[in-house]
Amino acid sequence: MTFENFYRDLSGKFVVIWRVANGMLKVREDASGGYPAVFSGDLRSVASTVSILQELETLEEDKDVTSIFNFPENRGFLPFGLTSRKGVHRLMPNFELDLESFESRRFWPSAEFLGNRKSDEESFRPLINDAAEHVKSVVNAILSTGNTVMYLSGGHDSRMTIAACKGHEKKLFCETFGDKKTINAYLAQKVAELGGFNFRNVSVVTAPREDVSAWLHRTGYAMYDPVSELTTTISKEETPGAFQIGGTGAELARATNWTDRDIGNPEIDVSTLLKRIRVPNTKVIHDAAEDWLAGIPGSPDIATIMDLAKIEQIHGCWAGAATYGHNIPLPSLYPFSGQWWNEICLTLSPTERAKGRAYVEYMDIVWPEMRQLPVNKAIGLDRFKFWKEEAKAMIPSRLKRLIRPLR
């Protein structure tokens, strides 16, 4: 097996270091950047965060970057490989680092891959079937390690993940955080009950400022949002010796960050891109975004560009940076994190993805009975309990996206 094939088939969270034919060492992250790395050419070092690099040498603050967000006074994340220290860059998913030159380069997707994608009626279901089999094998590998915890919600992504856990009811424990009376907790419990999984609702403990400060230090001051405030709760409720699994990456199949108007449209300016991923249009971010856009091979349409932004910015720079925040011994693992999954999703017909067909096909293969439960909607007379959510659901999608941009 070649290294490229080996890497393509991997899932989960990892950093891999390998020696290429000419003897040089290179570094890659997993396909979602679940274990992100930062690097400094001046220090000739790679580490998990800038906080770790500063153990080697005092690093000068990049005030142009740190002035964008005053964590924790403002929510946000540092995109496009930016960090809070001069000369330190984040290695994004789909990029590899040469440990001789300390330069990073994009290795996927190639212009050839982007130019040769074809998905029609005959190939759509086989691609989804391949994905389903791969996810089930990954979930089986995780659950074989022992008891596992899933942070279950009422949405699509955790639904796709838990469906792959069918047959492992005794090993998987489901949790949801916050008020028991929310529609999210209501649906999470319904999903767990249908599957026969143990379920509990976890009350959120207010995080002291010192806990949040420690969270920011562990993440290298790269992001801050509501998940940061869960640090005390998660540390307190941690199940000893258990991995957590999540649905990060699954949403790539559902076109959550673009619309059918983006399909085939090659024109997107930097300002629109930044609005889509919800980061401020400052000069330093604008310049970094321009470089990122210019480095995408070929002439992809907006849908493909936004898919890559989902993987490299939202997963790698936002969710990835949060990996180091919670003070727990074992990481959460993402069964949908893999280049194999990214390739399948970017190959599937974008028109059918925009219709939600990938979710339906996947669930029909993995656990069709689970589809009887609506996603993000209550059931029967219970709908009256959540009338506000029902009213929001009636707002046209295009109007919702005008109010709240895609991510």
The answer to whether 50 and 42 have CB atoms below 8 angstroms apart is: no
Q: Which residue from 101, 108, 99 is spatially nearest to 7, judged by alpha carbons?
A: 108
Residue type, 383: R
User: What per-residue confidence (pLDDT) applies to 372?
Assistant: 86
User: What per-residue confidence (pLDDT) applies to 384?
Assistant: 65
Give this prediction's pTM: 0.93
Q: Residues of CATH 3.40.50.620 domain(s) within the chain? A: 113-254+312-403
Q: How far apart are CA 281 and CA 272, in angstroms?
A: 9
Per-residue pLDDT tens for 110-162? 999 999 887 777 789 999 999 999 999 999 999 988 889 998 988 899 999 99
Per-residue pLDDT tens for 214-261? 999 999 999 999 999 999 998 888 777 788 899 999 999 998 999 989
DSSP E strands in 208-321: the ranges are: 223-224, 243-245
Kindly state which CATH superfamily the domain 3-111 is placed in.
Answer: Aminohydrolase, N-terminal nucleophile (Ntn) domain (3.60.20.10)
DSSP string, 83-111: -SBTTEEEEPTTEEEETTT--EEE-SS-H
User: What per-residue confidence (pLDDT) applies to 239?
Assistant: 79
Q: Where are the alpha helices (DSSP H) in 23-83?
A: 50-53, 63-66
Please give the structure tokens belonging to residue 73: 């006074």
Residues 6+ apart with CB under 8 A from 242: 146, 147, 148, 149, 173, 330
The answer to whether 116 and 65 have CB atoms below 8 angstroms apart is: no
Structural element, H or E, at residue 250? none
What does the CA dihedral 17, 22, 24, 30 come to, rounded to 10 degrees?
-30
DSSP E strands in 285-361: the ranges are: 332-333
In this predicted model, which residue has the larger pLDDT, 40 or 403?
A: 40
Per-residue pLDDT tens for 72-124? 989 999 999 999 999 999 999 999 999 999 999 999 999 999 998 877 777 89
CATH for 113-254+312-403 is 3.40.50.620
Q: Residues of CATH 3.60.20.10 domain(s) within the chain? A: 3-111
Binning pLDDT at 50, 70 and 90, where does residue 389 land?
low
Where b means 16+ CB within 10 Å and e means fewer, 211-220 reads bbebbbebbb
